[in-house]
Amino acid sequence: MLKNKLSILKLIVLVVLCVGLRNVNAQSAMDLRINEILVHNDSNYVDDFGEHSAWIEIYNSAFNSVNVGGLYLTDDITNPTKYYIPKGQPITLIPQESYIVFWADNEPDRGIRHLNFKLQESKTICLFDSNGKTLIDSVTIKSPQKTDVTYGRLEDGEAKWGFLEKSTPGANNDTKPKVSEADKFVKFDPSGIGMALIAMSVVFTGLALLYLFFKGLGLIMTKEARRAEKLLKISSPGVIKQGLSGEVNAAIVMALYLYGNEMHDQEDPVITMTKVSRTYSPWSSKIYGLRKSPR
C-alpha cells in the first residue's frame, strides 16, 4: 500500500514538472520586447555594410536565452507575417537580458538582420509569435521622429517610452549614473559602526541558534536513553544495578539479547571419553637397537 502511494506521488511530481517546463518554453518568447528604434539615421549607428539605416532593437527580459528564430517582424499589423526571422541561426539566439538589432532598410538579401521594409512611412512596429497570430509586443511610432535621436523605453523592458539622451543599440537604455546599494549604505553609515553591529548580531544569533539546537538534541537523546534503561529494567529487573560500568552493562544486555533470540551456543552436557589405541611402541623402535657389537 505504501509503495503504491509513493508511486502515485512520484507520478504527480513528474507531471507537474513536465507541465512547468512546457510552460517555461512556451512563454519564453513572450519575454521579448521591442526596446528602442531609430527612424531617421543620418549619422548614427552604422550597419555591417557601412550604411546608416533605420533600426529596431529587441530586448530579452527573461533570465534565460531566447531564440527569435521563427518569429515575425512587421510594420503593418494587418500583415503580421511580413518578415519571417529564419530559424536555426546562432545570431538569433538572445542571451538573458540582452539585445539584437534589426536593420529596417528593405534589403533582406543582405542578411538575416536586414528587414524587408523601412520605417520612414511606418506608423507601428509589431513582433508576432511563430503562429503568426499571437502579438508579443508592439510600439506606435510617435510623429514626428527626430533625426539621429532614438525613441525607446526609458528603462529596458519597462512600459514608459520617450526620446533617449543617448542612442544605445545593443546596450542598456538607462545611461544615468546609478547608485549601488553599497554606496547607499556607506552614505547612511559612514563610520561603519552599523555594519559592525549588524555583523556581530548575525554571528551571535547564529551561535545562539546552534546552542539551542544542540541543547535540544542532547535533551532528546538523554530522554531516549533513560526510556531505554527503564524498559530494560522492566523486562529484566535486577540486572542493571547502580555502580556497574558501561562495559559490564553492555555485556549483560548483549547476553540477554542473544539468549532471548536463541543465538547462544548449545553445549552437550554428556562428556564422552574415547580411548585411543596406539599400535606404535617405542620399545620396538629400531632407533633404540644396538648399533655396535659389544666387545
Question: Got the DSSP string for 81-101?
Answer: TSEE--SS-GGGEEPTT-EEE
**Measured distance CA(42)–CA(49) in Å, rounded:** 15
List alpha helices for 147-245, DSSP H: 181-188, 193-235
The residue length of the chain stands at 295
Q: What pLDDT, on the 0 to 100 scale, is given for residue 192?
A: 79
Q: What pLDDT, on the 0 to 100 scale, is given for residue 2?
A: 46
**Measured distance CA(251)–CA(257) in Å, rounded:** 10
What are 129's three cell numbers?
509569435
Q: What pLDDT, on the 0 to 100 scale, is given for residue 221?
A: 84
CA–CA distance from 293 to each of 222, 289, 290 (Å)?
A: 90, 11, 7
- Long-range contacts (CB closer than 8 Å, 24 or more residues apart) made by 54-57: 54/103, 54/104, 54/105, 54/118, 54/119, 54/120, 55/101, 55/102, 55/103, 55/104, 55/169, 56/101, 56/102, 56/104, 56/115, 56/119, 56/125, 57/99, 57/100, 57/101, 57/102, 57/152, 57/169, 57/170
Cα of first residue to Cα of last residue in the chain, in angstroms, is 103
Using one digit for the tens of pLDDT, what is the confidence trace for 215-241? 898 888 888 878 777 776 666 555 555
CB-based contact 54:104 (threshold 8 Å): yes
The continuous run of DSSP H or E covering 54 comes out as strand 54-60
pLDDT < 70 positions in the chain: 1-27, 179, 232-245, 260-295
**Measured distance CA(34)–CA(159) in Å, rounded:** 11
Q: What pLDDT, on the 0 to 100 scale, is given for residue 198?
A: 87
Determine how β-strand 54-60 pairs with β-strand 99-104: antiparallel
**Strand, coil or helix: what is 77?**
coil
CA–CA distance from 65 to each of 45, 55, 93, 129 (Å)?
A: 25, 22, 7, 16
Q: Which bin fits 125, alpha (ψ -120 to 50), beta or left (φ > 0)? A: beta
Q: What pLDDT, on the 0 to 100 scale, is given for residue 22?
A: 46
Amino acid at 292: K
- Closest by CA to 72, choosing from 137, 151, 156, is 137
Q: What pLDDT, on the 0 to 100 scale, is given for residue 281?
A: 59
Q: What angle do CA 142, 130, 87 make, to 5 degrees?
A: 105
Q: Cis bond leading into 90, ω under 30°?
A: no
